[in-house]
Structure formats: C-alpha cells, structure tokens
Amino acid sequence: GAVVSQHPSWVICKSGTSVKIECRSLDFQATTMFWYRQFPKQSLMLMATSNEGSKATYEQGVEKDKFLINHASLTLSTLTVTSAHPEDSSFYICSASIEGAKEGYTFGSGTRLTVV
C-alpha cells in the first residue's frame, strides 16, 4: 500500500522563527496532498489542500501567509509555519492516496510542533 513519509517527527522552536515540515509519498506520485492539524484531545482538522504545480487551497480561518505550502514535485509537499507563536503548537499531519486505488488515504507519522 501507499506509504507517506513525514519529518521531522517533533520540533521545538523559538517564537518568531519558521519551521518547515516535509511530507513525501514513497513509491507513488501524489498530485494532491492534504495537511491537517490536531490540538490535544481534539480531532483532525483540515488546514489545506496541496496541489502539485499550483497554489494550495486553504480552509476557512487558516492564514495562508502564515502556513506556506509548497508542492513542487509529485512526491513532495512542504508546510512552513512562519513566525511561529506558542498558539501554533500542535500536531501537524499530512495525507495522500494513490489515485484510482481503492485503498483510501494514508497518513504520515505526524510532526509535533512546540513553540516556546
């Protein structure tokens, strides 16, 4: 089945700095990847849809200038949290699927971001 690799697994950064999270599809091409955010004891909330070669689509309430998404190739999407603040501390996770395959979506292992 599809495998999605995400890193780093965890990161601690200072307020005001930027953090980049990578999500790679292994052994398959992903024209679309999805980025989710999960706060403690809550469900996963879709942040944005990442499309290869075009601009990402952001969900309502997600600041596109703060959460920069780049999907420059068919196997790599990146999420950059710019000028991070403590309230951005969360669990970020990406997902993708093999188009046409009846196996659903696979998720990366997630990135736990702590902003201090």
Partner 1 sequence: GIQVEQSPPDLILQEGANSTLRCNFSDSVNNLQWFHQNPWGQLINLFYIPSGTKQNGRLSATTVATERYSLLYISSSQTTDSGVYFCAVELNSGYALNFGKGTSLLVTP
Residues that bind partner 1 (CB under 8 A): 32, 34, 38, 42-46, 49, 91, 93, 95, 99, 102-107, 109-110, 112
Residue 42, classed as helix, strand or coil, is coil
User: Nearer to partner 1 by C-beta: 12 or 45?
Assistant: 45
Q: Minimal distance in Å, beta carbon 110 to partner 1?
A: 5
Q: Minimal distance in Å, beta carbon 62 to partner 1?
A: 13
User: Nearer to partner 1 by C-beta: 13 or 46?
Assistant: 46
d(CA 110, CA 116): 19
Q: Minimal distance in Å, beta carbon 116 to partner 1?
A: 19
Question: Which pair of tokens denotes residue 25?
Answer: 């599809």
Is the preceding omega at residue 8 within 30 degrees of 0, hence cis?
yes
Q: Output the CA angle 18-67-3, nearest 5 degrees.
A: 95
Q: Minimal distance in Å, beta carbon 51 to partner 1?
A: 10
User: Nearer to partner 1 by C-beta: 35 or 84?
Assistant: 35
Please give, one letter per residue, the 3-state secondary structure of 75-87.
Answer: CEEEEEECCCCHH
